[in-house]
Amino acid sequence: MSTPFPFTALVGQDDLRLALLLNAVSPAVGGVLVRGEKGTAKSTAVRALSALMPTLDVVSGCRFSCDPGSPDPGCPDGPHEPGAFETRAARMVELPVGASEDRLVGALDIERALSEGVKAFEPGLLADAHRGILYVDEVNLLHDHLVDLLLDAAAMGASYVEREGVSVRHAARFLLVGTMNPEEGELRPQLLDRFGLTVEVAASREPDQRVEVVRRRLAYDDDPAAFAARWAEEEAAVRARIVAARELLPSVRLGDGALRQIAATCAAFEVDGMRADIVMARTATALAAWAGRTEVLAEDVRQAALLALPHRRRRNPFDAPGLDEDKLDETLEEFGGSDDDDPDPDPGPDGPGGGGGQPEPDDAPQGGDDTAARPEAGEGGQPQPTGAGEQSAVRASEPFRTKVLSVPGIGEGAAGRRSRARTEHGRTTGARRPRGALTKLHLAATVQAAAPHQRARGRSGPGLVVRRDDLRQATREGREGNLVLFVVDASGSMAARQRMSAVKGAVLSLLLDAYQRRDKVGLVTFRGTEADVALPPTSSVDAAAASLETLPTGGRTPLAAGLLRAHDVLRVERLRDPARRPLVVLVTDGRATGGPEPVALAGRAARLFAADGVASVVVDCESGPVRLGLAGQLAGELGGTAVTLDELRADSIAGLVKDVQRRAA
């Protein structure tokens, strides 16, 4: 086994280390989600923690790590008689992003269960992680149904595997740690809430600290064993402190004053439900035990809020994370109680750091009344001096709920909430012979396949002889996430401030819809003489919103260039992720200027999408009393449909999806 990097040798990252240690002291805190950019020691810290976990006594031969002092009465390997046990280190189990449901929860042999009545169960990763650590790197990239299973097991302390009336249950209590890079996409708010604590990490900007990080890493890489030996004394001290804090934890008193502060803080930050209050209470209690105290103080409540509330107070994916610490301090002071008199709690060297809150940024200053350098036909505005060529970015109007745009047909892409797809979860639509391991049995189809052969198999009385050839896999239909590629006209014909604000508001609304439906998004813009990929396809709608916010406008309309660049983006993405079907959302007034035969070139470029069968929607931004209908003509060339900005609203039109599907069929 390789030597892990010592936990006590980590440089900085106080909040990350504290959150991990609090969960080691009290797994009831509910785990920790670590959010941050690449290369910030997220995985290193989690693996280092496993070496600090106290050793375990387990029943000999039990695949589910039962405690010999209180074995699980429902253990599939039980019942366990008093007797032999073994001592081993706590396990750290890693869940790969591409793991299947059977790999996570275990596999039940349906064939043997039906034909022999035997519960032949092969434990999964949840069983391996019992009484240890379950680590999920890139948890935001896991399929939603796997995250649901994972968090349900963490909350209930048990895992259930049920197939066609055959059920197996086993204990599954573990320290859950997830890491993620927010640039690769967010977790749904419902899933964020299920993690007890969250920590935002970033690389230090202090040169001396960065130098020390590199120095220690190079020393570890040269000789891991020797490096670990240099930190053995500090590691032993932290390990002993974890054991002592666990023993002290039941004696810690959470007074009424601290409880009032917790309740007031959760109410002040308007968090939903009561889970935040419970997690804060458990975290504050663990903080007191970690500090060697038997009473929870205001400092514990404050630190618990900084760890337990940031991911719960967010209301939409574009809000900045963190807490308003001034508001937090005012709330704690207003509801301070008599239990909080100790002015100097000793959090120790690994105690509370400077807090994880990030103040929300001030609103960006509004641009001046600059206008396009060369307004096109039908547009107003004063020309700027030669060479200016663009208008300053304008803010988006308020987002709204949009109509659902979907890709016609049935796909097989990543799980999501937009278009129809064949999935492992969803409503049953039919049956087929299994390809590989059987996962979802279609019982009726299996019985129908086996029934005609019963006499040949020697069965003349009640009962049914089922063989492997009779088994039928259920086919299911659910929803998939798509690649929504926004192609936005940023030319002078779109540059009227009121119009561009409405256009950005519409795109922002569609981005919010894409976030909720688990899509990947990309952004192509065109203006002047060329088109740019403002954002390559990504799962981060935050990045798309940021690119949209700073989008300048002005110049001619190279519509053909924008379409060709979008077509090239789809071609490359099809090679990377062939199962994810695209939906092109072209936001334009349909005008094409610049270069020879701009309208004809745009038409030829549009027909490339129709030839490839790419679903598309044109958001018609034309305004004014005289309308040319160019966007509608362009939609016809694309093989898609056109919808105005007003019609895009969910309460404005009916049958848009049917129209998209009819035109694309």
Q: Tell me the catalytic residues.
A: 275
Strands 85-88 and 427-432: unpaired
Alpha-carbon gap, residue 485 to 467, rounded angstroms:
48
Rounded to 5 degrees, φ, ψ at 3 are -80, 120
Alpha-carbon gap, residue 516 to 314, rounded angstroms:
14
Q: Which residue has the tokens 């005289």?
A: 626
Q: State the number of CA atoms in the 13 A half-sphere of 620 facing the CB.
A: 20
Q: Which residue has the tokens 């092969």?
A: 122
Secondary structure letter of residue 185 according to DSSP: -
End-to-end CA distance of the chain: 57
Q: Do the Cβ atoms of 637 and 606 come closer than 8 Å?
A: yes
Length of the chain: 665
Contacts of 538 (CB under 8 A, 6+ apart): 183, 184, 185, 520, 521, 522, 544
Tokens of 325: 């610490």
Tokens of 393: 């970015």
Alpha-carbon gap, residue 415 to 424, rounded angstroms:
9
Q: State the number of CA atoms in the 13 A half-sphere of 323 facing the CB.
A: 31
Q: Do the Cβ atoms of 281 and 254 come closer than 8 Å?
A: yes
Tokens of 498: 């009121």
Peptide bond into 79 cis (omega under 30): yes
Alpha-carbon gap, residue 439 to 433, rounded angstroms:
11
